[in-house]
Structure 1
């Protein structure tokens, strides 16, 4: 039997900081009626909150972002959320599940409210990468009073046009390579 080591840690390393005001937690919370995971890290719990929404959908970034965000943890309480269906928040969807963009927007709003209450804050910062930018910007548009600012990375501007360009390019490459299987799929 071959054992494969997962890159998805069950814990998050401690934030090394003097005093008792740092935070380093990986935990399961109920959002939208299902169990989802968040990782909260920062050197001072009195700092503002920065909620990070990953790309995808389904493209969990927790193992990567915990390392990349180290400098952000000096000035923010950084919250990495593995959205429903991604990473540690994965669960098998049922055929009857009706999950659309509004579901993710609602989850983001609910998580924001949870963080505001937990840390006794009035507003947070929100950062979205790719697919996360779609969710974040629409959440901010619906509830602007909950956010100081929105930060977009790999900002999606026109999802339909983006997908059409990607499809056209892929088909063009299949034709150039005379890949009949790829052409028909």
Structure 2
């Protein structure tokens, strides 16, 4: 693709990542809560801290479900964004029916930034497995959003026996394909910016990180994700509540390790039911890579939210909650 490492450094320095990582009920009857003493200690309501793989991770359990129902772990995007906005804005619609687990990945949200700078996709996957063991359950459900889709897919491929069902929401599954989608958008909407991206890509490539300078690049990313600017404002307010910020440390490390060339390849190992939810106007991931993911998984379905962007839980919150709760209740993908 001809992407240069300076593109990654420039994007991180500008605070522009490839991906950013969003009240009532959804109309699904709530289950009677399990008695607290019937749950493993790690799965009881409230915030938890646990040291795994040399780092202190923070997670919070909220919601009700039968005691034997697998909890649903939310894997946030960014990289490095934290779980706070999804928990605040989507959680209240999901928790009446699901036992949700909001984990902040290492270097994100309320979790520790590792002193030795230990970040990698395999290590983040092992953090999820350590969380499952801490929860004391044989299987978990997963919602992977944006970069969280990378971790969801890789975790499910390595530990398929521990995943009951999985939702990939605006999830990254093929970075080169998503970057091509961004370049195709530039070709349709801004020929001058497209020419700059092609020139920067070299060897017939296209580097959308080089389409604009400074703040204009950030606005390009925002337009790709937010058809409605008010959604962006709501998400940013929730993300920064309580002084939390994406430091860029996790993202910088993952990009430098080759995220721009990452593709998921172990589709045949994901035999559990998978629901792929895509926004029609999510130009950051692109619709075609998400269609391709659903086609290649053994037991998956794609639902496209008309007019939706990168954060469907804000663009269409009631539909998102209905789809998620019904799916984890056992409805087959369709």
Task: Name the TM-score, length of structure 1 as normaliser.
Answer: 0.71
Q: How many residues align?
A: 154
Q: Whose relative contact order is higher, 1 or 2, with alpha carbons under 8 Å and at least 6 apart?
A: 2
| Structure 2 equivalent of residue 139 of structure 1 | 155
Cα 1:20–1:30 shift into 2, 3 Å: same
| Structure 1 equivalent of residue 97 of structure 2 | 75
Give the root-mean-square deviation of aligned CA atoms. Answer: 2.8
Deviation at 1:66, TM superposition (A): 3.4
Give the match's secondary structure for 1:74: coil
**Superposition map of 1:24-35 within 5 A:** 24-35=45-56
Where is the helix percentage greater, Structure 1 or Structure 2?
A: 2
Deviation at 1:64, TM superposition (A): 3.9
Alignment of 1:158 with 2:179, yes or no, is no
Match of 2:133 among 91, 100, 113: 113
| Structure 2 equivalent of residue 126 of structure 1 | 142
Separation (CA, whole Å) in 2 of partners of 1:18 and 1:137:
31
After superposition, what is the alpha-carbon deviation per residue over 1:38-65, rounded to whole angstroms, capped at 9, x for unaligned? 0100124614310000002211122442
| Structure 2 equivalent of residue 84 of structure 1 | 106
Give the match's secondary structure for 1:75: coil
* Contact 1:51/1:78 (<8 A) preserved: yes
Alignment of 1:171 with 2:210, yes or no, is yes
Task: Name the TM-score, length of structure 2 as normaliser.
Answer: 0.41
| Structure 1 equivalent of residue 83 of structure 2 | 61
Give the match's secondary structure for 2:45: strand
Contiguous gaps of at least 5 residues in structure 1: 1-16, 178-185
| Structure 2 equivalent of residue 36 of structure 1 | 57
* Contact 2:72/2:141 (<8 A) preserved: yes
Separation (CA, whole Å) in 2 of partners of 1:157 and 1:64:
20
Post-superposition, which runs of at least 4 consecutive aligned residues in structure 1 deviate over 6 A? 17-20
Contiguous gaps of at least 5 residues in structure 2: 1-30, 37-43, 184-196, 198-206, 217-334
